[in-house]
Amino acid sequence: MDFDWASLRAAATAVAARAHAPYSGLSVGAAGQDSEGKVVTGCNVENASYGLTLCAECGLVSAQRAAGLGPLVAVSVVAGDGAPIVPCGRCRQLLLEAGGPGLLLDADGGPVRLGDLLPGAFTADDLAARSAGGLGGSSPRESTDGPRA
């Protein structure tokens, strides 16, 4: 599937101008599209209580859900200057659930697969296999197969 990376990056750059980043000074915009070509965007929103800061990808994923889009297939995340910037660890995890390991991320050297940026990711499959009600068996507290870390 071909993507109009220039348009996606332009949308991310435009929304970065709406970021609320008075503390770091790093405005970030994100634009993503689903397999039907529908595009959603998000920008970072910082807070005086730094830990409450929302990355641009948080807004993007919320917008994806709010607009009823399918899984994201291409995402561009840029700083305010329009140059691609890599998602932080938390956002790689968010994007994984929003698009899967095959989601393509805009990068200077060409698109990269999200799965290559987050190998061995924790997924819903891990929950199903390891939780008490999951497919894989008993709760860790009920298990008798040895000590736990």
86 binds Zn ion (CB under 5 A): no
From candidates 30, 55, 72, 95, binder to Zn ion by CB under 5 A: 55
Cα–Cα distance, 146 to 149 (Å, whole number) = 10
Nearer residue to Zn ion within complex by CB, 39 or 43: 43
Residue 91, interface with Zn ion (CB under 5 A)? yes
- Residue with smaller CB distance to Zn ion, 55 or 117: 55
* Total number of residues shown for the chain: 149
> Are 98 and 61 a contacting pair, CB within 8 Å?
yes
Binding segment (CB under 5 A) for Zn ion, from list 28-36, 81-89, 97-105, 114-122: 81-89
Which stretches of the chain are DSSP H helices?
5-16, 56-66, 89-99, 114-117, 124-130
The yes-or-no answer on residue 57 being catalytic is yes
CB nearer Zn ion, residue 88 or residue 128: 88
What's the min distance (Å) between Cβ of 31 and Zn ion?
A: 15
Do residues 95 and 57 make contact, with C-beta atoms less than 8 angstroms apart? yes
Among candidate residues 55, 35, 60, the one with its CA nearest the CA of residue 45: 55
d(CA 141, CA 99): 33
The answer to whether residue 132 forms part of the interface with Zn ion (CB under 5 A) is: no
CA distance linking residue 21 with residue 95, whole number of Å: 21
Of 53 and 123, the one with the shorter C-beta distance to Zn ion is 53
Q: Is 88 in the site for Zn ion (CB under 5 A)?
A: yes
36, 46, 57, 142: the active-site residue: 57
Binding of residue 21 to Zn ion (CB under 5 A):
no
